[in-house]
Amino acid sequence: MRLLRLETAGFRNLVPGGLDFPARGVVLTGLNGQGKTNLLEAVSYPVLFRSFRGASDAELVRFEAPGFRVGVAFHDGGRERAAEAAFRVEGRRKRLSVDGADVPRLVDAVGAWLAVAFQPADVALASGPALLRRQYLDRVLALSDRGYLAALSRYRAALAQRNAALRQDRRALAEAFDSPLATSGSRLVSARLAWTAMVGDLFGTELAGLGEAGAITLEYAGAAELADASAWTAALARAADADRARRATTLGPHRDDLVLRLDGRVLRDYGSTGQQRSAAIVLRLVELVTLERARGTSPTLLLDDVFAELDAERQRRLAARLLTDGGGQVLVTAPRTDELPRGLDLPAWNVWGGEVRTA
């Protein structure tokens, strides 16, 4: 899978228009605040139809514009496809389309276009709270398995209703949501456990490839028995007092974590900033490989200022990894080309005031 063309109007500070992308990708240079990250954000938007920076749709609208439109044309499995979103501030209406046809439900549009994005804030995947790693897990598994996405939607709905009943101290009503919670929750835990076991060696190999020494491991921190729906009844009964005290559901995949360890120690607590940054980059590479295996196609890789704060050797190793075996399509940002490692042989475009200069 590779990006052929991006078209935007009213999106952030980007000048309205279209861009055709080389098959191998590009380097986007320019000073901070000129629109490099905005361009990557636009490319990524039609994956999940939301900002990879956590911004609301209204925040993506160019100043004084009535809304925005962003669309991608891409090559997928021997054919050209398209995905597009149009948002209007008035009424906060959003229209989605895939291959030229309107798609009323978000769940049916998600993942038609695939891109994996690294941004500097992703260091928090290794150094930050469990919530961010759960979101990472949900993104990877939802894009690689539509069954997981459906189960995630059902789980969130059941959890919200159960928690609302607990807040109202309506125990019988809360228990009415135990069954759908168990059915969907067991699907999530099972998939997360299987994924963690599958990519554990890959995570370590990729980190070693960037020059990290020591034993690197991934482990899923949660109640593994909840992968079996029949185990939920007893588990929820044991947690009943805590649930009532906190007025919220205190067990389940919404409470679990993905733990990264270096030589047996939790990387979040004991890893250096450089080690945490490397681990975050590798989590995105693992995401890329997961989607390649599940979907039979290589997503476009978007890397925002990824080489900053990496030493020269790690930069060299990462550049070699990106271009190995012919690689997939890569879009990389940097303030200047001389800040990039040698060997990253991609055409360079410049971004200034939201305008992309391709020559």
- Average pLDDT of 241-267? 95
* pLDDT (tens digit per residue) in 270-299: 888 888 999 999 999 999 999 999 999 999
Q: How far apart are CA 209 and CA 231, in angstroms?
A: 40
* pLDDT (tens digit per residue) in 190-247: 999 999 999 999 999 999 998 888 888 899 999 999 999 999 999 999 999 999 999 9
Taking only Cα atoms into account, the Rg of the chain, rounded to an integer number of angstroms, comes to 22
DSSP 3-state assignment of 331? strand
Q: What is the pLDDT of residue 53?
A: 94
Q: Note whether 235 and 225 are within 8 A (CB).
A: yes
Q: Could you tell me which of 290, 266, 286 has the C-alpha nearest to residue 210?
A: 286
Q: Which residue did the predictor score with more confidence, 183 or 315?
A: 183
Q: Could you tell me which of 50, 53, 38 has the C-alpha nearest to residue 6?
A: 38
Which residues does 222 contact at the CB level (< 8 Å), separation at least 6?
189, 192, 253, 255, 256, 257
Per-domain residue ranges of the chain: 120-296
Residue in the block written with tokens 């189960």: 151
* pLDDT (tens digit per residue) in 296-310: 999 999 999 999 888
Q: Which residues pair with 73 in a beta bridge?
A: 5, 82
Q: Which residues pair with 2 in a beta bridge?
A: 75
Percent of the chain residues topping a pLDDT of 90: 83
**pLDDT grade for 327, boundaries at 50, 70 and 90:** low
For 201, the token pair is: 């060696």
- Average pLDDT of 140-154? 95
Q: What is the pLDDT of residue 196?
A: 97
Q: Note whether 35 and 12 are within 8 A (CB).
A: yes
Q: How many CB atoms lie within 10 A of CB 190?
A: 18
Q: Does the pLDDT of residue 178 top 60, yes or no?
A: yes
Q: Is 73 left (phi over 0), alpha (psi -120 to 50) or beta?
A: beta
CATH number of 120-296: 1.20.1050.90
| Chain center to CA of 347 | 26
Going by their DSSP bridges, the two strands 115-118 and 300-304 should be labelled as: parallel
Q: What is the pLDDT of residue 326?
A: 55
Q: What is the distance in angstroms between the CA of the first residue and the CA of the last residue of the chain?
A: 25
* pLDDT (tens digit per residue) in 110-136: 999 999 999 999 999 999 999 999 999
- Mean pLDDT over all residues of the chain? 94
Which residue type is seen at 95?
R
* pLDDT (tens digit per residue) in 7-37: 999 999 999 999 999 999 999 999 999 999 9
* pLDDT (tens digit per residue) in 37-55: 999 999 999 999 999 999 9
Q: How far apart are CA 357 and CA 239, in angstroms?
A: 59
For 273, the token pair is: 């900033």
* pLDDT (tens digit per residue) in 86-100: 999 998 899 999 999
